[in-house]
Amino acid sequence: MTDIVFIEGLRLPALIGVHDRERHAPQPLLLDIRMRFDNRIAASSDALADALDYEAVSLRLADYIAQTDFLLVETLAECCADLILTEFGAKGVRLKVSKPEALANAAAVGVEIERGSFS
């Protein structure tokens, strides 16, 4: 199975960072998410209940991230990947978390991780 459900450019505010300037107010994060999920049942039934609901994933991540205040984007990425795997039944997740305002002379910085299976 190689089905992928994706969310690109999900923009969410987060209190994250190790520098004093990052600890006073939320800053935007951009998430690109690829989730491995067997879409055959949903395709056959045409029912949202059988699908990996990307809107539900995005709302859950928004709620979760709003409640965190991690120092490291690595920690946030790991926790978000685990949430997707455990709460939504994805078999694998590739998650890129970007901080577009972290460095003045860069478009973005961040991490990209892969958890679960993509084979």
Q: Which residues are catalytic?
A: 99
Closest by Cα among 28, 116, 105, 48 to 78: 116
Strand partners, 5: 35
Torsion of CA 100, 106, 107, 109, to 10 degrees: -50
Give me the residue label for tokens 């984007």.
Answer: 73
For residue 98, which amino acid is it?
Answer: S
Cα separation, 86 vs 105, whole angstroms: 37
Cα separation, 59 vs 23, whole angstroms: 24
